[in-house]
Chain A
């Protein structure tokens, strides 16, 4: 996948904070601090909104796009490594690569296909800020996790 730019905007951060129940005054004051406070630990997961290919033709795209066979694609695990804090006003380069793939038998005897998606968030000078490792599992209908 070609790298995309992730501009860390206060409005986006407010929307994210509202969705997770964060106290609005704290988030509203983020940009007023000097330097601005770091964003919440999982905020980079919202970077898809800045990908110009995301939701093209109003259909889910990217790692979490629906499976063509009608099965479920579920997010089984998520891991973040933090190297430097991200703040409102930062502009990050986002690069996604495929990681490992493996299979397991499900409790019901079916086949579960796992795959990793690695996403690096870097500052303009190339320094790594956050590395995300998402583990996805493809399951048959009605056999799943969140």
Chain B
């Protein structure tokens, strides 16, 4: 694989439409059955307009951009801050930008800045990731 350059980026719609069914599927697959995600009356009682998607669901679909770009065995770190709620009906777009290409032994490491937004341009997640490369810096 050719080493990327700082500023290289990938963008993808990582979730065309968040649905209540998807949120429930994710709750079932992960065991996170918080009422905020699966009990709409309880979520509304707390002041929310509906159930919301798990932050981990947003992170997981953002992660799919990383694995599609870099493969599934190169990540050494992946972190996210959940900045805004994701609701049923939202479309999520993720962008990953190369911020550094560093020497590591063996090979090199590529640092990435991640941003995921909804259909209104609201940033719902920011994050970072690091990818390990076999190729050394300078080749």
Are B35 and A22 closer than 8 Å at their CB atoms?
no
Q: What is the interface size of chain A, counting residues whose CB is below 8 A from a CB of the partner?
A: 41
Residue of B nearest to A141 (CB): B46
- Indicate which residue in B47, B58, B60, B86 contacts A40 across the interface (CB closer than 8 Å): B60
Chain B residues with a Cβ under 8 A of chain A:
14-15, 22, 25-26, 28-36, 46-48, 52-61, 63-64, 66-67, 72-73, 75-86, 124
- Indicate which residue in B33, B77, B81 contacts A80 across the interface (CB closer than 8 Å): B77
Which A-B residue pairs are the 9 nearest by beta carbons? A142-B47, A79-B79, A48-B31, A19-B25, A19-B26, A146-B55, A15-B29, A20-B60, A46-B30
Are B33 and A45 closer than 8 Å at their CB atoms?
no
Q: How far is the CA of A63 from the CA of B51 in the complex (A)?
A: 19
Are A82 and B46 closer than 8 Å at their CB atoms?
no
Per DSSP, are chain B's interface residues mostly helix, strand or loop, or mixed? mixed
Chain A residues with a Cβ under 8 A of chain B:
12, 15-16, 18-22, 37-38, 40-42, 45-46, 48-49, 51, 54-55, 60, 64, 66, 70, 72-82, 85, 141-142, 144-146
Are A78 and B56 closer than 8 Å at their CB atoms?
yes
Are B63 and A77 closer than 8 Å at their CB atoms?
no
- Indicate which residue in B36, B60, B73 contacts A42 across the interface (CB closer than 8 Å): B60
28 A-B residue pairings within 8 Å (CB atoms): A19-B28, A20-B61, A40-B67, A40-B72, A41-B63, A42-B56, A42-B60, A42-B78, A46-B31, A51-B31, A74-B36, A74-B55, A74-B82, A76-B55, A77-B79, A78-B55, A78-B82, A80-B77, A80-B78, A81-B77, A82-B78, A141-B46, A141-B47, A142-B47, A145-B82, A145-B84, A146-B54, A146-B58
